[in-house]
Amino acid sequence: MVTEPRQAEPEGGLYLGRKPVTLALLSVLAVVCFAGVSGLSRAYHGQQAALGDRWFTRGVADLKDHRFDRAVSEFRTALRYSRDNFDYQLNLAQALIGLKRTSEANAYLINLWGREPENGLVNLELARIAAQNKDTGQALRYYHNAIYATWPGDQEVQRRDARLELIEFLLGINDKTQAQAELIALAANLNGDPAEHAHAGDLFFRAQDYEHALAEYRASLKLDRNNPAVLVGAGRAAFELRQYTLAQRYLQAAVSADPSNTQSEGLLKTATLVLQMDPFQRKISVEERRQIVMEAFAAAGERLKACPAGGLASLSESWEKMKPNITQRGLRQDPDLVEASMDLVFNIERQASTGCGAPTGADTALLLIAKMHEGN
């Protein structure tokens, strides 16, 4: 049997046989290289992030301690490692505000607001800058944004604090009407803390909304009935509302709790005098009313004598003419003299208050009684 000689395999066949192996090896090598590069990249970025966080932490500590120069430098260094980091930029803006470089801070904050317009702290800082620049419209806009914005942590506390800051701003520019509106919204969301009610009462008082002030003071006293400062506030609010009996009660309690409070003691004396010298109050006898009229008439006469202004001559003549009839007998014989004599007394006190110096004692009380009965 003759064996045919084996033909040699072409070199191309060997190449083709090895090609899949080569491709597989190259693929594995590419994957390994890619993984290596990715690992190096992750390591690099991780290192960058760690460095940024390290400088940021230093900056936060310096910002907290009001070392604003150092904080600015540290936050800027942190931003080299993470240029678009929101927190880094926000804290840098706060440090710049600490250095009173508000224009630079404002530029950062406007950029951050564009990225997160609902961010509470960004809106609050923009409101503060606008308020400092006396830009009332922008300040109101950003304060209101802050009140209804998103806050980390306890949102209700953050929003209440933002509203309180807005109220202080409004009181500072003497916009009492707007401040009252914000205070009403604030009071509607208080959580029953006596200190919060007392603070709201103080703010209402400053806004000259004495009715709401008294309501907040009373709400506070229901929870902490012997707080001297709140008793004083309630007494002052009731005094401004001309509720002198209620004012007397609160002020007596305030003075008992703190005898060193001379201001409250003086206000208590005035409230007591008003109650004693008002002849038109209810539940007094006819004889008591006449006696009060006689004392008020005498006090007005003393006020005329002490007044250096000559513009009260006509009132002095009227007083002298009426004087002989202002007795128990004269008032009894002519009941209409009670109102006529008190009209004269009130006119004397009003005009003397503008031309004869500030009233004191009985004159203050009579002037308050006159205001209380205006139009009656």
The number of residues in the chain equals 376
Q: Encoding tokens for residue 329?
A: 């007998």
> Given this model, what pLDDT does residue 280 score?
94
> Residue 109 in contact with residue 77, Cβ under 8 Å?
no
Q: Per residue in 169-207, is it b (16+ CB within 10 Å) or e — as a string?
A: bbbeeebeebbbebbeebbeebeeebebbbbbbbbbbeb
Check if the beta carbon of residue 227 is closer than 8 Å to that of residue 198: yes
Residues 167, 157: Cα–Cα separation, whole Å? 15
Residue with tokens 């006689």: 294
In this structure, are residues 350 and 306 in contact, taking their beta carbons and an 8 Å threshold? no
Averaged pLDDT score across all residues of the chain: 90
52's tokens? 């940024």
Q: 234-238 long-range CB contacts below 8 Å, 24 or more apart?
A: 234/201, 235/264, 235/267, 235/268, 235/271, 236/205, 236/267, 237/201, 237/204, 237/205, 237/210, 237/211, 237/213, 238/214
In the prediction, which pLDDT does 126 show?
Answer: 98
Question: Could you read off the pLDDT tens digit of each residue along the chain, which spans 376 residues?
Answer: 455 555 555 555 555 556 676 676 666 666 655 655 555 556 555 676 788 899 999 999 999 999 999 999 999 999 999 999 999 999 999 999 999 999 999 999 999 999 999 999 999 999 999 999 999 999 999 999 999 998 988 889 999 999 999 999 999 999 999 999 999 999 998 988 999 999 999 999 999 999 999 999 999 999 999 899 999 999 999 999 999 999 999 999 999 999 999 999 999 999 999 999 999 998 899 999 999 999 999 999 999 998 876 678 899 999 999 999 999 999 999 999 999 999 999 999 999 998 888 999 999 999 999 999 886 6
pTM of the model: 0.81
- Report the alpha-carbon distance of residue 87 to residue 8 in Å, rounded: 73
Phi/psi of residue 119, each to 5°?
-75, 120
Q: How many whole angstroms from its chain centre is CA 236?
A: 20
The strand pairing partners of 119, in sequence order, are: 150
Residue with tokens 């002030």, as numbered in its chain: 213
Give the position of tokens 């208050």: 353
Q: What are the beta bridge partners of residue 150? A: 119
Q: Among residues 229, 233, 260, which one has the least CA distance to residue 246? A: 233
- 46 contacts: CB under 8 Å, gap ≥ 6: none
Choose among 295, 313, 292, 293: nearest CA to 304.
313
Nearest Cα neighbor of 367 from 107, 93, 348 is 348
